[in-house]
Structure 1
Amino acid sequence: MACADSAANSPTPEQLQSALADLAVKAPLTSRHAPQRAVLDPDCRSWPYHSPEQPHAARPTTDTTILVVGSTADPVTPYAATRQLTAELGNASLLTRGGDGNTAYGRSTCIRTAVDTFLTQGTLPAPGKGCPSD
């Protein structure tokens, strides 16, 4: 999915090695979880398809409120991007998990309960709800 998100040029091997070294210093959570994947996976050199579309704001076509879930220290999906998406959607509610690691659903009973309730009953969590990691 990420490989079709932009038309950016792929980095050189030297740029990747430099980024990996810089990552270990500046983003210890990312480098602790999967450093090579964090730097090498997004380069998309082997991805044979290139999207002609440029990144753009999300434009929902529903009046139903969208539930967006994010983690405060996700090394793959920065929380700032999660907040930006919520704002761009306009009709969205943000559910936040405090903690590191990519994705929130499998890392918090509170998140699972809130998401499951939304999906099965249509009930949104309280605005601004935060959940701890398990």
Structure 2
Amino acid sequence: MDLAKLSWLLEGLLERTPGARHALVLSRDGLKLCHSAGLGTDQADHLAAIAAGLQSLAHGASIEFGDGTGGVRQAMAEFYGGLLFIVEAGHGAHLAVIAGEDADPGLTGHNMNELVEQIGEHLTSPPRSDAEPAPGRA
């Protein structure tokens, strides 16, 4: 799936989710893959890093206190002025949404999961690999 079509789908998610302001698809390691139009490039980079960090912390909690598989269905942070939702969106990818504090968390999560079910296989982000070995390594 091309990124232009994915951007269009993210905009559709925002339109049908009251209170949702921004949407972003990111790789597990915090690189933005695609984002809604309302996010500037620097904001999208920052949100991707924040979402990856929060997802990583939730993963650690799952390993320690969950069933040991390290699976995280979704993570959410509530802060003054808004909410951040993160769901898995294919192997190595996540979908993050910023919503206002008046947003319905159940509806937001439902709409995010619905989008992931529709296009999840297209949201896979393969692990990055170095094109060349680091100096001194062969």
The TM tier, using the shorter chain, reads under 0.3
TM-score calculated relative to the size of structure 2? 0.23
Q: Which has the higher contact order (CA 8 A, sep 6+)?
A: 2
Greater radius of gyration (CA): 1
Query: Counting strand residues as a fraction of each chain, which structure ranks higher?
Result: 2
